[in-house]
Amino acid sequence: MPIKKLTDFKEMMKGGNILLSAAPEGDGTTDGIPEMSVHYVEMEPGGEVTPHVHNRTEVYVFLTGKAIVMTGDEIIEITTGDVALAPIGTPHAIKVIGSDPLRFYAFNSPPASTCPMEPASEEVLWKWKQH
């Protein structure tokens, strides 16, 4: 298994996201882990991923920053060192708060490339907007 430095991946970042390991993506890249994908993400203050669902489990490990995170019915503030789990089909969302960027890893199984995001229901969107 190759060992890589985060600085190597940051050189390849597209916007605030970089694929670290995955089943073959659209461009054919793979690091030999076909069962999952791992993304390193950087989001600026005020950045948001609106509520969505997909047919994969997603685990977020937060490295820096603060955010409001929704998984299912729970909406809480997270910070450095926190972990959030969104099982298959569970609505989830992230909004960066504070003045520092949010940096995190998103682990997906099966790979993100095989399970596209779908918007959450209107009820979930309403709940997120009310928070």
* 94 occurs within a structural domain: yes
> Does residue 7 fall inside a structural domain?
no
pLDDT, one tens digit for every residue, the chain (131 residues): 356 666 666 666 666 666 665 445 555 555 556 677 888 899 999 999 999 999 999 999 999 999 999 999 999 999 999 999 999 999 999 999 999 999 999 998 887 777 788 999 999 999 999 88
Is 112 a domain residue?
yes
Residues of the domain holding 127 = 46-131
In a domain, 58, yes or no: yes
Q: Which CATH number fits the domain that encloses residue 110? A: 2.60.120.10
Q: How far is the C-alpha of 90 from the C-alpha of 112, rounded, in Å?
A: 15
Total tally of structural domains belonging to the chain: 1
Closest CA to 20 of 122, 108, 87, 81: 108
CB within 8 A of 76, min separation 6: which ones? 68, 69
pTM for the full predicted model: 0.79
